[in-house]
Amino acid sequence: MTALLRAWLRYSLALCSHYSGLDGLYRQLSGAGLVILMLHRLRDDHDPYPLSVSRTQLRQMLAWLRTRGALVGLDDGLRSLSPDRAQKIHYALTFDDGYRDNLGLIDANLGGPVPAVVYVATGHIGGEPIWAYRLVHAVESRSRDQIDLGGLGLGHFDLALRDDRHRLYELLPARLKALEPAELEAWVDHVCEQARPRPLPHEDREMLDWTDVRRLADGGVEIGGHTCSHAILSRLDDAAASEEIGLSRASIAAELGNAPRHFAYPNGGRSDFGDRDVRLVREAGFATATTSIEGVNRPGADPYRLLRFNVHEDRFRAPSGRLSKALFFSETSGMLGWLRGLRAA
Protein backbone atom coordinates (compact mmCIF):
# COMPACT_ATOMS: atom_id res chain seq x y z
CA MET A 1 0.00 0.00 0.00
CA THR A 2 1.47 3.37 -1.00
CA ALA A 3 1.96 6.18 1.53
CA LEU A 4 -0.65 8.32 -0.24
CA LEU A 5 -3.23 5.53 -0.18
CA ARG A 6 -2.55 4.94 3.54
CA ALA A 7 -2.99 8.66 4.18
CA TRP A 8 -6.35 8.73 2.39
CA LEU A 9 -7.53 5.58 4.21
CA ARG A 10 -6.54 7.06 7.58
CA TYR A 11 -8.26 10.34 6.72
CA SER A 12 -11.43 8.61 5.50
CA LEU A 13 -11.66 6.56 8.69
CA ALA A 14 -11.20 9.71 10.76
CA LEU A 15 -13.94 11.54 8.86
CA CYS A 16 -16.36 8.63 9.22
CA SER A 17 -15.74 8.09 12.92
CA HIS A 18 -15.72 11.80 13.79
CA TYR A 19 -18.79 12.96 11.88
CA SER A 20 -20.87 9.80 12.34
CA GLY A 21 -20.75 10.22 16.10
CA LEU A 22 -18.70 7.07 16.70
CA ASP A 23 -15.86 9.11 18.21
CA GLY A 24 -18.23 10.84 20.58
CA LEU A 25 -19.83 7.53 21.58
CA TYR A 26 -16.40 6.00 22.20
CA ARG A 27 -15.37 8.95 24.38
CA GLN A 28 -18.61 8.71 26.34
CA LEU A 29 -18.21 4.98 26.94
CA SER A 30 -14.50 5.17 27.77
CA GLY A 31 -15.05 7.71 30.55
CA ALA A 32 -12.66 10.25 32.00
CA GLY A 33 -9.31 10.72 30.34
CA LEU A 34 -6.45 13.15 29.96
CA VAL A 35 -4.75 13.60 26.60
CA ILE A 36 -1.35 15.25 27.02
CA LEU A 37 0.00 16.76 23.83
CA MET A 38 3.79 16.75 23.44
CA LEU A 39 5.10 19.61 21.34
CA HIS A 40 8.59 21.04 20.97
CA ARG A 41 8.81 24.07 18.73
CA LEU A 42 6.65 26.93 17.43
CA ARG A 43 8.14 27.89 14.09
CA ASP A 44 6.70 28.87 10.74
CA ASP A 45 9.70 27.80 8.65
CA HIS A 46 10.40 24.20 7.73
CA ASP A 47 11.83 21.92 10.39
CA PRO A 48 13.77 18.88 9.13
CA TYR A 49 12.63 16.98 12.23
CA PRO A 50 8.99 16.13 13.13
CA LEU A 51 9.10 18.47 16.12
CA SER A 52 7.46 21.76 15.10
CA VAL A 53 4.04 23.30 14.62
CA SER A 54 3.32 26.77 13.30
CA ARG A 55 1.55 29.39 15.39
CA THR A 56 -1.37 29.16 12.97
CA GLN A 57 -1.66 25.41 13.57
CA LEU A 58 -1.42 25.83 17.34
CA ARG A 59 -4.04 28.59 17.28
CA GLN A 60 -6.40 26.29 15.37
CA MET A 61 -5.93 23.38 17.79
CA LEU A 62 -6.43 25.69 20.78
CA ALA A 63 -9.67 27.02 19.25
CA TRP A 64 -11.01 23.48 18.81
CA LEU A 65 -10.16 22.58 22.41
CA ARG A 66 -11.57 25.80 23.89
CA THR A 67 -14.82 25.35 21.96
CA ARG A 68 -15.23 21.96 23.64
CA GLY A 69 -14.17 23.27 27.05
CA ALA A 70 -11.46 20.61 26.97
CA LEU A 71 -8.28 22.69 27.43
CA VAL A 72 -6.80 22.49 30.94
CA GLY A 73 -3.49 22.80 32.71
CA LEU A 74 -1.65 19.61 33.57
CA ASP A 75 -2.53 19.69 37.27
CA ASP A 76 -6.21 20.37 36.57
CA GLY A 77 -6.21 17.61 33.98
CA LEU A 78 -4.85 15.10 36.46
CA ARG A 79 -7.39 16.18 39.08
CA SER A 80 -10.14 15.62 36.48
CA LEU A 81 -9.31 11.90 36.58
CA SER A 82 -10.61 11.55 40.14
CA PRO A 83 -13.80 9.45 40.47
CA ASP A 84 -15.91 12.39 41.70
CA ARG A 85 -15.32 14.48 38.56
CA ALA A 86 -17.34 14.53 35.33
CA GLN A 87 -16.46 11.69 32.97
CA LYS A 88 -14.89 13.78 30.22
CA ILE A 89 -11.77 13.88 28.05
CA HIS A 90 -9.51 16.84 28.77
CA TYR A 91 -6.38 18.01 26.94
CA ALA A 92 -3.16 19.49 28.36
CA LEU A 93 -0.25 21.00 26.42
CA THR A 94 3.45 20.41 27.09
CA PHE A 95 6.57 21.62 25.27
CA ASP A 96 9.94 19.90 25.59
CA ASP A 97 13.52 21.17 25.68
CA GLY A 98 13.22 24.96 26.08
CA TYR A 99 13.37 26.52 22.61
CA ARG A 100 13.21 30.29 22.33
CA ASP A 101 10.27 30.12 19.93
CA ASN A 102 8.20 28.83 22.89
CA LEU A 103 7.85 32.51 23.81
CA GLY A 104 5.03 32.40 21.27
CA LEU A 105 2.93 30.80 24.03
CA ILE A 106 2.46 34.24 25.60
CA ASP A 107 1.55 35.80 22.25
CA ALA A 108 -1.80 37.59 22.36
CA ASN A 109 -2.63 36.10 18.94
CA LEU A 110 -3.26 32.68 20.49
CA GLY A 111 -6.66 33.76 21.76
CA GLY A 112 -5.87 33.97 25.46
CA PRO A 113 -3.59 32.40 28.06
CA VAL A 114 -2.25 28.96 27.19
CA PRO A 115 -2.02 26.69 30.28
CA ALA A 116 1.07 24.84 29.10
CA VAL A 117 4.10 23.26 30.75
CA VAL A 118 7.49 23.97 29.17
CA TYR A 119 10.09 21.40 30.22
CA VAL A 120 13.57 22.96 30.04
CA ALA A 121 16.95 21.24 29.80
CA THR A 122 18.68 23.66 32.14
CA GLY A 123 22.21 23.13 30.84
CA HIS A 124 21.12 24.51 27.47
CA ILE A 125 19.39 27.62 28.81
CA GLY A 126 21.13 30.61 27.24
CA GLY A 127 23.62 28.29 25.52
CA GLU A 128 24.03 25.92 22.63
CA PRO A 129 20.97 24.10 21.28
CA ILE A 130 20.37 20.44 21.94
CA TRP A 131 22.51 18.29 19.63
CA ALA A 132 19.79 17.70 17.03
CA TYR A 133 19.63 21.40 16.22
CA ARG A 134 23.39 21.78 16.39
CA LEU A 135 23.33 19.39 13.46
CA VAL A 136 20.71 21.48 11.66
CA HIS A 137 22.81 24.61 12.10
CA ALA A 138 25.92 22.77 10.91
CA VAL A 139 24.13 21.58 7.77
CA GLU A 140 22.17 24.71 6.90
CA SER A 141 24.98 27.20 7.70
CA ARG A 142 27.84 25.07 6.41
CA SER A 143 30.87 26.42 4.58
CA ARG A 144 31.86 22.91 3.40
CA ASP A 145 29.64 20.33 1.71
CA GLN A 146 31.51 17.05 2.17
CA ILE A 147 30.78 15.01 5.33
CA ASP A 148 32.27 11.60 6.07
CA LEU A 149 30.32 9.45 8.55
CA GLY A 150 31.96 6.16 7.66
CA GLY A 151 32.89 5.65 11.31
CA LEU A 152 29.16 5.35 12.06
CA GLY A 153 28.54 3.06 9.11
CA LEU A 154 26.64 5.77 7.23
CA GLY A 155 29.15 6.59 4.51
CA HIS A 156 29.70 9.89 2.73
CA PHE A 157 27.30 12.82 2.31
CA ASP A 158 27.43 15.70 -0.16
CA LEU A 159 25.36 18.37 1.58
CA ALA A 160 25.05 20.37 -1.62
CA LEU A 161 22.57 17.67 -2.67
CA ARG A 162 19.06 17.91 -1.23
CA ASP A 163 18.68 14.13 -1.16
CA ASP A 164 21.88 13.76 0.87
CA ARG A 165 20.71 16.37 3.37
CA HIS A 166 17.40 14.56 3.73
CA ARG A 167 19.22 11.24 4.14
CA LEU A 168 21.46 12.68 6.85
CA TYR A 169 18.50 14.04 8.84
CA GLU A 170 16.74 10.69 8.49
CA LEU A 171 19.63 8.38 9.40
CA LEU A 172 22.03 10.24 11.67
CA PRO A 173 19.80 11.11 14.68
CA ALA A 174 18.70 7.50 15.18
CA ARG A 175 22.31 6.34 15.00
CA LEU A 176 23.47 8.98 17.47
CA LYS A 177 20.75 8.16 20.00
CA ALA A 178 22.20 4.65 20.31
CA LEU A 179 25.54 6.04 21.54
CA GLU A 180 26.72 6.90 25.03
CA PRO A 181 26.30 10.64 25.80
CA ALA A 182 29.99 11.56 25.49
CA GLU A 183 30.32 9.67 22.21
CA LEU A 184 27.17 11.29 20.84
CA GLU A 185 28.51 14.78 21.56
CA ALA A 186 31.89 13.84 20.05
CA TRP A 187 30.23 12.83 16.79
CA VAL A 188 28.18 16.02 16.68
CA ASP A 189 31.42 17.95 17.18
CA HIS A 190 32.96 15.91 14.37
CA VAL A 191 30.12 16.85 11.98
CA CYS A 192 30.47 20.51 12.93
CA GLU A 193 34.24 20.40 12.38
CA GLN A 194 33.71 19.00 8.89
CA ALA A 195 30.84 21.33 7.90
CA ARG A 196 32.43 24.45 9.44
CA PRO A 197 29.13 26.32 9.99
CA ARG A 198 29.05 30.09 10.13
CA PRO A 199 28.54 31.51 13.66
CA LEU A 200 24.94 31.93 14.77
CA PRO A 201 24.12 35.56 15.72
CA HIS A 202 22.95 35.94 19.32
CA GLU A 203 19.58 37.30 18.23
CA ASP A 204 19.00 34.08 16.26
CA ARG A 205 19.78 31.77 19.18
CA GLU A 206 17.71 28.61 19.42
CA MET A 207 17.27 28.26 23.18
CA LEU A 208 15.52 30.27 25.88
CA ASP A 209 17.68 32.19 28.33
CA TRP A 210 16.67 32.69 31.95
CA THR A 211 15.10 36.08 31.22
CA ASP A 212 12.92 34.34 28.63
CA VAL A 213 12.05 31.56 31.08
CA ARG A 214 10.93 34.13 33.64
CA ARG A 215 8.80 35.84 30.98
CA LEU A 216 7.06 32.55 30.28
CA ALA A 217 6.49 31.89 33.99
CA ASP A 218 5.15 35.42 34.50
CA GLY A 219 2.82 34.83 31.55
CA GLY A 220 1.22 31.81 33.22
CA VAL A 221 3.29 29.04 31.62
CA GLU A 222 4.53 26.42 34.07
CA ILE A 223 8.21 25.50 33.90
CA GLY A 224 9.20 21.86 34.35
CA GLY A 225 12.44 19.90 34.52
CA HIS A 226 13.99 17.98 31.62
CA THR A 227 17.44 17.16 33.08
CA CYS A 228 20.47 19.41 32.59
CA SER A 229 22.01 18.10 29.37
CA HIS A 230 19.04 16.25 27.84
CA ALA A 231 20.87 12.97 28.37
CA ILE A 232 18.87 9.76 27.97
CA LEU A 233 18.65 8.60 31.58
CA SER A 234 18.81 4.86 30.91
CA ARG A 235 22.33 5.35 29.50
CA LEU A 236 23.63 6.96 32.71
CA ASP A 237 24.87 5.36 35.91
CA ASP A 238 23.01 6.01 39.17
CA ALA A 239 25.10 9.01 40.24
CA ALA A 240 24.96 10.74 36.86
CA ALA A 241 21.20 10.18 36.48
CA SER A 242 20.53 11.52 39.97
CA GLU A 243 22.66 14.58 39.26
CA GLU A 244 20.94 15.31 35.94
CA ILE A 245 17.51 15.18 37.59
CA GLY A 246 18.36 16.92 40.87
CA LEU A 247 20.46 19.76 39.44
CA SER A 248 17.83 20.61 36.84
CA ARG A 249 15.24 21.03 39.59
CA ALA A 250 17.63 23.04 41.77
CA SER A 251 18.55 25.37 38.88
CA ILE A 252 14.91 26.14 38.09
CA ALA A 253 14.13 26.72 41.77
CA ALA A 254 17.10 29.09 42.11
CA GLU A 255 16.17 31.13 39.04
CA LEU A 256 12.39 31.29 39.53
CA GLY A 257 12.06 31.11 43.30
CA ASN A 258 9.80 28.06 43.11
CA ALA A 259 10.73 24.41 42.67
CA PRO A 260 9.17 22.81 39.58
CA ARG A 261 6.48 20.17 40.05
CA HIS A 262 6.69 18.45 36.68
CA PHE A 263 9.39 16.52 34.82
CA ALA A 264 9.72 14.99 31.33
CA TYR A 265 12.07 12.11 30.54
CA PRO A 266 14.42 13.07 27.65
CA ASN A 267 13.40 11.16 24.54
CA GLY A 268 10.85 9.44 26.77
CA GLY A 269 10.48 6.09 25.03
CA ARG A 270 10.16 2.77 26.80
CA SER A 271 13.90 2.11 26.59
CA ASP A 272 14.91 5.65 27.63
CA PHE A 273 14.02 5.43 31.32
CA GLY A 274 13.26 2.73 33.85
CA ASP A 275 12.15 2.02 37.40
CA ARG A 276 15.34 3.55 38.78
CA ASP A 277 14.70 6.81 36.98
CA VAL A 278 11.07 6.92 38.11
CA ARG A 279 12.33 6.54 41.68
CA LEU A 280 14.97 9.26 41.25
CA VAL A 281 12.43 11.70 39.81
CA ARG A 282 10.05 11.04 42.72
CA GLU A 283 12.82 11.35 45.30
CA ALA A 284 13.98 14.64 43.75
CA GLY A 285 10.60 16.11 44.63
CA PHE A 286 8.77 16.14 41.30
CA ALA A 287 5.04 15.38 41.45
CA THR A 288 4.69 14.04 37.89
CA ALA A 289 6.76 12.83 34.96
CA THR A 290 5.75 12.50 31.32
CA THR A 291 6.92 10.05 28.67
CA SER A 292 6.69 10.03 24.87
CA ILE A 293 4.69 6.78 24.94
CA GLU A 294 1.35 7.45 23.27
CA GLY A 295 -2.06 6.93 24.81
CA VAL A 296 -4.82 8.48 26.90
CA ASN A 297 -4.24 8.75 30.64
CA ARG A 298 -7.13 7.18 32.55
CA PRO A 299 -8.10 7.20 36.26
CA GLY A 300 -5.40 5.44 38.24
CA ALA A 301 -2.64 6.40 35.81
CA ASP A 302 0.88 6.38 37.28
CA PRO A 303 1.77 10.08 37.68
CA TYR A 304 5.43 9.25 36.92
CA ARG A 305 4.68 7.43 33.65
CA LEU A 306 2.19 9.77 31.99
CA LEU A 307 1.43 9.16 28.32
CA ARG A 308 1.64 11.83 25.62
CA PHE A 309 0.86 12.26 21.93
CA ASN A 310 3.62 13.69 19.76
CA VAL A 311 2.34 16.69 17.79
CA HIS A 312 4.11 18.15 14.76
CA GLU A 313 3.20 20.00 11.59
CA ASP A 314 2.30 16.88 9.57
CA ARG A 315 0.68 14.75 12.27
CA PHE A 316 -2.93 15.81 11.73
CA ARG A 317 -2.82 16.99 8.12
CA ALA A 318 -5.41 15.76 5.65
CA PRO A 319 -4.00 14.54 2.30
CA SER A 320 -4.94 17.97 0.94
CA GLY A 321 -2.41 19.53 3.33
CA ARG A 322 -4.93 21.21 5.63
CA LEU A 323 -5.03 20.62 9.37
CA SER A 324 -7.88 18.18 10.04
CA LYS A 325 -10.14 18.48 13.06
CA ALA A 326 -11.39 14.93 12.46
CA LEU A 327 -7.85 13.49 12.47
CA PHE A 328 -6.87 15.52 15.53
CA PHE A 329 -9.70 14.32 17.74
CA SER A 330 -10.08 10.80 16.34
CA GLU A 331 -6.36 9.99 16.70
CA THR A 332 -5.96 11.42 20.20
CA SER A 333 -9.20 10.45 21.92
CA GLY A 334 -11.40 8.72 19.38
CA MET A 335 -11.73 5.57 17.34
CA LEU A 336 -8.43 5.84 15.43
CA GLY A 337 -6.56 6.10 18.70
CA TRP A 338 -8.40 3.04 19.99
CA LEU A 339 -7.59 1.06 16.83
CA ARG A 340 -3.91 2.04 17.10
CA GLY A 341 -3.91 0.83 20.68
CA LEU A 342 -5.32 -2.53 19.59
CA ARG A 343 -2.56 -2.93 16.99
CA ALA A 344 0.11 -2.10 19.57
CA ALA A 345 -1.27 -4.55 22.15
pLDDT for the residue 340: 74
pLDDT for the residue 3: 79
39 and 151 share one domain: no
107-126 pLDDT tens trace? 878 888 899 999 999 999 99
Binned at pLDDT 50, 70 and 90, residue 135 comes out as very high
pLDDT for 306 beyond 80: yes
35-74 pLDDT tens trace? 999 999 999 888 999 899 999 999 999 999 999 999 999 9
Give the domain CATH number at 226: 3.20.20.370
Q: Considering the entire predicted model, what is its pTM? A: 0.94
232 and 264 share one domain: yes
136 and 268 share one domain: no
170 and 115 share one domain: no
The mean pLDDT value for 151-174 works out to 94
276-290 pLDDT tens trace? 999 999 999 999 999
Share of the chain above pLDDT 90, in %: 79
Interatomic CA distance for residues 296 and 35, integer angstroms:
5
pLDDT for the residue 51: 93
Q: Is residue 331 part of a domain?
A: no
* Domain that residue 113 falls in: 31-127+205-314
pLDDT for the residue 226: 98
249 and 300 share one domain: yes
Domain count, the chain: 2
290 and 231 share one domain: yes
Q: Is residue 338 part of a domain?
A: no
Q: Is residue 10 part of a domain?
A: no
17-32 pLDDT tens trace? 999 998 988 888 888 9
User: Domain boundary at 195, 220, 242, which?
Assistant: 195
116 and 231 share one domain: yes
pLDDT for 343 beyond 70: no
Q: By mean pLDDT, which of 101-115, 131-145, 251-265, 267-281 is the weakest? A: 101-115
Q: Is residue 323 part of a domain?
A: no
User: Domain boundary at 144, 175, 195, which?
Assistant: 195
pLDDT for the residue 238: 98
